[in-house]
Amino acid sequence: MSATARTTGLLDGLRVIDLSLWQPGQVATQLLADLGADVLKAEPPGGDRMRPQIDRFVNWNGHKRSEVFHLKQPDDRARLLALVAQAEVVVEGFRPGVADRLGIGFEALRAANPAIVVCSITGFGQAGPLANVAGHDYNYQAYAGAFTFHGEHPPAHAGMLAGDMGSGLAAAFAILAAVLCARRTGEGEHIDVAITDLLAAWVVPAGPIDEDGGTTAPSDRLPGMGCYRTRDGKWVELGVYSEDNLWDQMCHGLGLGRYAGLTMVQRGEQATALRAALTQTIRSHDRDDLVALMLPLGVPVAPVLSREEMLAHPNSWERGVLLRDAEGRRRAGHPIRYAMHPVLPPGNPPALDAHHGEGFTVLGEGGGRSLL
């Protein structure tokens, strides 16, 4: 923390009701809670579906509070709507139409609070031909054209839940934009985040279509891009795209100076021969030795780390991507750094219904909190 950093969070005073039962909504509200938002988990009897998945639940529900609502019961529904009148944001992940049937759809919430911002996160959106189709992250990746095709091998999805995590981040962005508008105009908003839409929007500009029907990655066209195997059976990813100077540096560093001076167009024309030369040369180095050789030259090269290697890498810890909580457990840190208003350290998730009837907190003098 800098000497002039403030101790209050960027979002102190923002009141959020989290009705989500799966990771996308919980990621969105965790990002807000990290910055000081007061997030109340409005859970069904028995708790949300992520509670049995301890590692994921702990990482995406810190600094939140919990209250149980049986939304099919009029008294509990009225209790929730009373809290909506005091809140600015509601996040939900029900299938389209479910919130309306429960009496907590956008119109019902807006009747309780005309300035309320409601964010609905689903796989395919609130309307459209797939709106009521069930799915999880890899299904959305499949519809979005986000799988990688490699000849006769089965198509491969991303090695992480790109849709769940990306939609949570996109939802947090959209929520804050809508809150700014609501505070200015008094008019609320219904945000429709479709995970498939988000992934498809990332895929659209990725490049031309290859003969397998998938998107051709730059590594398939340029020899300075893509994965190469090293002597110890590991892999490196090269990242020389249009930068002729970096291509030259890499060639000289690898003892392939005869290929220096080629332009991007020439590299593309000679890709097969150049890739063969790089494959042979890189195969004569161990992975970490090759990275150590290239980095001082400014060449974009990265070791392809396993999850275990990433968890042990010093950059992950020094940047705060990974840290220890008060109990010594390894936790995922907030992914963005702030110079003047640091995020909260990892917090524990709430016990189910631990904050029944407490309502929201308010900020007192000096940023202190008290219950309404």
Integer Cα distance of 318 and 320 in angstroms: 5
Residues 160 and 184 occupy one common structural domain: yes
pLDDT, mean over the chain? 87
Last-in-domain residue among 276, 303, 330: 303
Rg (CA), the chain: 25
Integer Cα distance of 326 and 160 in angstroms: 27
Q: Which residue has the tokens 């009837």?
A: 357
Integer Cα distance of 184 and 32 in angstroms: 20
pLDDT beyond 50 at 110: yes
Integer Cα distance of 28 and 11 in angstroms: 13
Interval 331-371: pLDDT, tens: 887 877 777 788 888 888 899 988 998 888 765 444 445 55
Residues 132 and 268 occupy one common structural domain: no
Residue 269 in any domain: the answer is yes
Contact 352, 43 (CB under 8 A): yes
pLDDT beyond 60 at 315: yes
pLDDT beyond 60 at 244: yes
Residues 117 and 149 occupy one common structural domain: yes
DSSP conformational letter for 215: B
Who wins on pLDDT, 329 or 90? 90
Q: Mean pLDDT, to the nearest integer, of 87-92?
A: 97
Supply the DSSP string of 182-200, one letter for each residue: HHHHS--EEEEEEHHHHHH
Contact 168, 24 (CB under 8 A): yes
For residue 68, give Cα distances in angstroms to 47, 60, 99: 7, 18, 16
Give the chain's domain count: 2
Residue 219 in any domain: the answer is no
Q: List the 117-122 sheet strands across, edge first.
A: 64-68, 38-43, 15-18, 89-92, 117-122, 189-194
DSSP conformational letter for 160: S
Interval 157-177: pLDDT, tens: 888 888 999 999 999 999 999
Residues 47 and 195 occupy one common structural domain: yes
Helix (H) or strand (E) holding 324: strand 322-324
Enumerate residues 6+ apart whose C-beta is below 8 A from 207: 215, 216, 217, 218
Last-in-domain residue among 273, 303, 333: 303
- Mean pLDDT is lowest, of 28-32, 57-61, 248-252, 324-328, for 324-328
pLDDT cut 70: percent of the chain above it: 91
Residue 310 in any domain: the answer is no
Helix (H) or strand (E) holding 103: none
CATH of the domain at 347: 3.40.50.10540
Residues 325 and 299 occupy one common structural domain: no
Identify the band that residue 328 occupies on the pLDDT scale cut at 50, 70 and 90. Answer: confident
pLDDT beyond 80 at 209: no
Residue 216 in any domain: the answer is no
Who wins on pLDDT, 29 or 213? 29
Interval 37-78: pLDDT, tens: 999 999 999 998 888 888 888 989 999 999 999 999 999 999
How are beta strands 369-371 and 361-363 bridged, if at all?
Answer: antiparallel
Residue 108 in any domain: the answer is yes
Identify the band that residue 134 occupies on the pLDDT scale cut at 50, 70 and 90. Answer: confident
Residue 9 in any domain: the answer is no
Q: Mean pLDDT, to the nearest integer, of 186-209?
A: 84
- Mean pLDDT is lowest, of 14-18, 90-94, 147-151, 328-332, for 147-151
Q: Mean pLDDT, to the nearest integer, of 111-135?
A: 92
Enumerate residues 6+ apart whose C-beta is below 8 A from 27: 60, 164, 165, 167, 168, 169, 171, 172
What are the strands, taking DSSP E only, across the chain? 15-18, 38-43, 64-68, 89-92, 117-122, 148-150, 153-156, 189-194, 225-229, 235-239, 301-303, 322-324, 330-332, 361-363, 369-371
Q: Which residues are catalytic?
A: 164
Interval 182-192: pLDDT, tens: 999 999 999 99
pLDDT of residue 6: 44
Residue 224 in any domain: the answer is no
Last-in-domain residue among 253, 275, 303: 303
Residues 242 and 193 occupy one common structural domain: no
Residue 221 in any domain: the answer is no
Structural domain of residue 251, as residue ranges?
Answer: 235-303
